[in-house]
Every structure is written in structure tokens, then in C-alpha cells.
Structure 1
Amino acid sequence: MRPPHPDLAVPTVLDVEASGFGRNSYPIEIGFVLPNGHTFCTLVRPEAHWTHWDAQAEATHHISRALILARGVPVPEVARTINAQLYGQTVYSDGWVNDYSWIGALFDAADMSPSFKLENLRVLLDDQEADQWHTVKAQVSSERGVQRHRASADARLLQLTLLRLRNGHSP
């Protein structure tokens, strides 16, 4: 097992809930947890041309299109807020391929560039940790009890799972 990198002792972890999967999907909720445990979560109001909606995705995250239309924050405001809070950081995601695409869609629609780097969480794991990931994640999830399947709660679960793998315990 490699020695812990001091800057990565507790990484920032991000998660995105989306309208569905595939080319026409877009972010509807973005959440992250910082190294100090502070969580951030926001619903994203869809752009006018973001119309794709997948009922199976909604059944997973339980966020309705009516809710994001009513309570979602405009895309430029979400992009500015995320940039301010994540400026200069490397941020990790377990669904990097999809999350990268959805973060790209958000920033493209806002006509901005991310001020942070989004990286695959897998790069933080050695082979043994990767093999144990799902088992440890299930243990941490069980200990936390019932949590909503939402972006910030999912990001916190990922962060705690990584810490458990590294340290043998969660904070």
C-alpha cells in the first residue's frame, strides 16, 4: 500500500444526479463534500433546450422535473458558486465519465470554464483498495443508515468509503 499523499488525506468528492444517461442528459443536482466535511448541494434549473427526461433516472434519485423547474438554481449561478468553492482543487468522482460530461454541459451552458479539475476517484485507489471498494462502501452505507440518494449524500458516502479504506475507520 502506498503512503498517503498529504494533500489527498481527505479529498473533495463530487457527485452529479442527472436527467438520465446518454447524449441528451444534463445535470439536475450537483453536490460535493470538502475535506473538512462541509457539504454543498444544489438543484440545477434546466436550460430551455435541456428537455430529455428519463423516468428510470427519476426513480433512482427521486428528483422530479417539476421540482427542478420550481426550485432549481439557474445554470450560471450554479457554475459561479461551484467555481468559487472548488477553485484550484482536484475534485474526485466515482462516476467520472458521466459526471465529467454533465459538468461540461453545465459550464458550456454557462459559457464558463471550471476553475477546478475533475478526476476519477479510481486514481486514488491501489488494486487492493479497488477490490475492497464495494464491500467497504456497503459497510459504510449500512452504518450510516437510510440516506437519500442525492448528490451531496452520495459524495459524502464516497469520501467516507475512501477514508475507511485508507485508515481502517471513518471520521
Structure 2
Amino acid sequence: MPVLLDIEASGFGRGSYPIEVGLARADGSYCSFLVQPLSEWTHWDPKAELLHGISRDRLVREGHAIIEVARWLNDELTEIGVAYSDSWGYDNTWLSLLFHHAGMLPRFRLEALRRLLDEYQLSVWTVTKEALIRDNAIQRHRAGDDAHLLQLTYQHTLDASRHRPSSE
């Protein structure tokens, strides 16, 4: 089972930064950490806060220091070597920002989840994901839950792909 990574952010675009990092591990367990923003990280999009429900004040109070989050990611992912994201462009940018400000290099790669999916998985991805959200009451736009949802969706679409009748 691939390891999935998801990042929630202060918004999108210029000036945005990571506020929560979540992982779904190969064994199916998942977790996340809030990220304490640096003082120079001032961008805040109220629309993003409406989605993820995390206030900047909460990040200041409960967030982990950037270096702690970077160390945790390296501890979790060095041996595995790779994690996957469904929003590689955004997540890779935010991950790079996090490691840059931690003064560290990631000891793993972040790859696009799409690279693992066959055509059939891609064709049933959205409907499968929506069914899993509905049937399992999964909270959206929280990094750990979203990483877990991606992993469940991957597993369900893979199973469906393996068991579909051949079109010969």
C-alpha cells in the first residue's frame, strides 16, 4: 500500500504556507501535525479557513515547530523513500517551503499519485472517493483524514480494476 501525504495550507498561491501535514501509512494508520507558522508567514485566506476549519490562532497555540514536523516526516519516510500526493504541485511547493525553513533536506521524494493509477482507476476515482466520504463520514480538508481517504480510494479503485471483467 503506498504512503499518502496531504498538506493543508493558509490559502493558495503566492505567500501561502503549510499549516497541517498528514500521512496515511502503508499499514493503514494515519496521523497529522499542525504546523506553527513563522512570524513572516502572514498570508491568510479566510476562504481556506472555512474549508479546513483551522484558525491561525490555533496554529500559534497548538502547532508544532517547523523543524519538528520536518524531522517527523524524515523519520517516517526515509526508509520508504517515497510518498504520494493527489495535489503534487501544491503539496510539493509547501513541502519544499517547510524543509527550507527547517534548514533540512527531505530524505524522501514526493510523487504524484496519478503515476500509480491505471486508466480504469482514473475513470472510477471520483465516484469511488465520493462514496467513501458518504459511507464512512470522513471529515474533509484535514490533512490526516484526506490522506486516509486517498489511500482508501486507491485501494478500492485498485481492487475494482483487478476484478473487472476483461474487455477482450
Instruction: Output the TM-score relative to the length of structure 1.
Output: 0.90
Instruction: Work out the CA distance in 1 between the residues paired with 2:31 and 2:101.
Output: 21
Q: 1:99 aligns with which of 82, 91, 100?
A: 91
Matched, 1:14 2:11: no
Q: Show CA shifts across 1:13-35 (max 9, x none).
A: 01000000002000000001101
Tell me the matched-pair count.
Answer: 160
Equivalences for residues 77-92 of structure 1 within 5 A:
77-88=68-79, 89-92=81-84
Instruction: Work out the CA distance in 2 between the residues paired with 1:28 and 1:100.
Output: 14
Matched, 1:139 2:131: yes
Instruction: Work out the CA distance in 2 between the residues paired with 1:142 and 1:159.
Output: 16
> Cα RMSD between the aligned structures?
1.3
Cα distance change of structure 1 residues 146 and 165 upon mapping to structure 2, 3 Å threshold: closer
SS at match of 1:105: helix
Q: Show CA shifts across 1:129-169 (max 9, x none).
A: 11211011111111111425310000000000000001139
Q: 1:50 aligns with which of 41, 44, 47?
A: 41
Q: Show CA shifts across 1:72-119 (max 9, x none).
A: 001011101111011142100001100000000000000111111100
Letter in 1 for 2:106: P
Equivalences for residues 15-164 of structure 1 within 5 A:
15-88=6-79, 89-164=81-156
Q: Show CA shifts across 1:41-82 (max 9, x none).
A: 100001111110000000000000000011100101110111
Instruction: Work out the CA distance in 2 between the residues paired with 1:37 and 1:135.
Output: 21
SS at match of 1:30: strand
Instruction: Work out the CA distance in 2 between the residues paired with 1:39 and 1:33.
Output: 4
Q: Structure 1: state its 5+ residue gaps.
A: 1-9
